[in-house]
Amino acid sequence: MDEDFLRLQTGIPGLDSMIEGGLPFPSTVLLAGDSGCGKTTFCLQFLFDGARKGEKGLYFTTLSEPTNWMLRFSSRFNFMDKEAIGRDIIYFDLGPYFRSRLPPEDRFEALKKAIEDKIVEHMPQRIVIDPITAVAGLLKGSYREFVFDLSQSLKNWQAVSLLTGESTHDQMNTMEPAYTSDGIILLYNLEHEDGRRRYLEVLKLRGTDHMTGRHLMDISGDGISVQVGLR
Amino acid sequence: MDESTKPPQTKVSEYLDLLNPSSEHMVTFSPFFTNQMSVELIRSMTVIRRARVLYICIGRPHIFVQKMLMNRGINIKDIYFMDMVLHVCREGGRSKAPVIHVPDSKEPLELPTVFKLYRVDQELSSLSLDDIELMVLDNVSELRTYNSDQQIRTFLGLLHGLSQKTGKGLILLHLDNRPNDGMRELAEGMSIHTLAIPAKAFQ
């Protein structure tokens, strides 16, 4: 293990042992997978783990989901701490920028400024943008430039950022954030003869000798855990 | 209150109160709180102690530090920023030594690194240290990425010498993720005061 390489533990049991102790700090990581595979649960668990350690988290939603809905769905998890919301974990809705009538180039700047202003205000160690792929429709031709700018900027803000995206392994090559991210973690919810099973795969993580292949993943009351080595 | 009966420090600001802006210090802290440290240190030195600061950024572009300060209403007019990030270069495979010119001396302070030190906020070709009371290096741990231990020793020795010669204060920020990197021992060997701030002080 390179001890000069600083790592931030994810709080996902099993995952940190696959990636030399945690995600590189600072870094930008794409968390991709189909709908229902556990992306939002992963992000919340990551943020609440930071809150327990005294770190600040910023959760940007692009779906305009009200805070109370997010709280209601996540309250069944044991890692959930309602006291941390608003104090250690700041929830920010980027939805209004999607509904604005600004031309795409102005939306680009407005969105970038909104994200940056919140980061400057709260100085978080952990950032989530869920889902980043929704921004593609908003910015159209500027999306690639936006994602590139954002990825570079997020690292300079000294944080680990998770950008989520609805995508399968086969679609990775066409996903803009995949090019600019330092890491890609894929979540699967695959159908087998005896039902569906969830998997996690670390596809890429710069500066890390990470485990490869799909590893069985479980979602229980304690949140996500990875059964390392089980396929 | 007697020193021995003073309560222990719990907040970052209380730890920073222990620093003397005209003296030399190495401040060790958690790398997860670099933003908080930059803001609290500059607030303590410029707003409370009224010291004029030269802030040397190594780990990130200075503009990110500036934005955090402006957001908190801290006047950046009297803070000189040097940015060693935007101009990382190695020309022709040879290290290009950047310089800080010391007033009343023909000898520039050469920084033995691959960085090209670049003045971002001033148009002058050399920096006058007359306007500065305190130098802050953010941070010595980042030097490890591009330099050998010997180069870092030489560099810190030069900064220490400059501080001694000109009477300017010096604060070296140091990240605690590599406790055996020898930096604290190096600082202590130069009679630089060391201060460790625990992560909980930032929370």
Question: Are B144 and A157 in contact (CB < 8 Å)?
Answer: no
Distances (CA, A) of B191 to B57, B170, B172, B179: 24, 12, 13, 19
Q: What is the set of domains in chain A, with CATH numbers?
A: 7-227 (3.40.50.300)
Mean pLDDT computed over B78-89: 61
B35 touches chain A (CB under 8 A): yes
Give the minimum alpha-carbon distance from B183 to chain A in angstroms, rounded to a whole number: 14
Kindly give the interhelix angle for B62-71 and A104-122, rounded to the nearest 10 degrees.
80
C-beta atoms of B71 and A25 within 8 A: no
Cβ partners under 8 Å of residue B86, min gap 6 = B61, B118, B120
Q: Rounded mean pLDDT of chain B?
A: 77
* Structure-block tokens of residue B170: 């010096």
Which amino acid, one-letter code, is at B174?
A: H
Write the CA distances from B132 to A8, B60, B82, B173, integer angstroms: 37, 22, 13, 18
In the predicted model, what is the mean pLDDT of residues B60-88?
79
Kindly state the DSSP code that residue B24 receives in the 8-state scheme: E
Nearest CA to A84 out of A61, A51, A116 is that of A51
Q: Which helix (H) or strand (E) holds B39?
A: helix B34-42
User: Which range has highest mean pLDDT (A140-144, A153-157, B121-125)?
Assistant: A153-157
| Arithmetic mean of pLDDT, A71-96 | 90
Interface test with B, best of A1, A49, A55, A153 (most B CBs within 10 A): A55
Q: Are B84 and B57 in contact (CB under 8 A)?
A: yes
| Cβ of residue A4 closer than 8 Å to a chain B Cβ | yes
How many angstroms separate the CA atoms of B13 and A224, rounded?
38
Residues of A within 8 A of B61 (CB-CB) are 156
Q: pLDDT tens, B140-155?
A: 888 877 677 877 887 7
**How does residue B156 score in pLDDT terms, banded at 50, 70 and 90?**
confident
Nearest Cα residue in chain A from B181: A4
Task: State whether A6 and B200 contact (CB < 8 Å).
Answer: no
Partners of residue A23 in chain B, C-beta under 8 Å: none
DSSP reduced 3-state for B22: coil
Q: Which two tokens stand for residue A152?
A: 């570079």
In this complex, do A54 and B36 lie within 8 Å of one another by their Cβ atoms?
A: no
- For each of the domains in chain B, give its residue range(s) and CATH number, in order of start: 11-202 (3.40.50.300)
ipTM value: 0.85
The count of CB pairs under 8 A between chains A and B is 38
> Can you tell me the distance from the alpha carbon of A209 to that of B158, in angstroms, rounded to the nearest whole number?
38
| pLDDT of B31 above 80 | yes
User: What is the structure's pLDDT at A97?
Assistant: 79
What phi and psi values does residue B121 have, to the nearest 5 degrees?
A: -110, -5
pLDDT band at B94 (very low <50, low <70, confident <90, very high): very low
Please, which pLDDT band fits residue A168 given cuts at 50, 70 and 90? Answer: low
Do A133 and A165 meet the contact criterion of CB atoms below 8 Å apart?
A: yes
What interhelical angle do A39-52 and A67-74 show, nearest 10?
A: 90
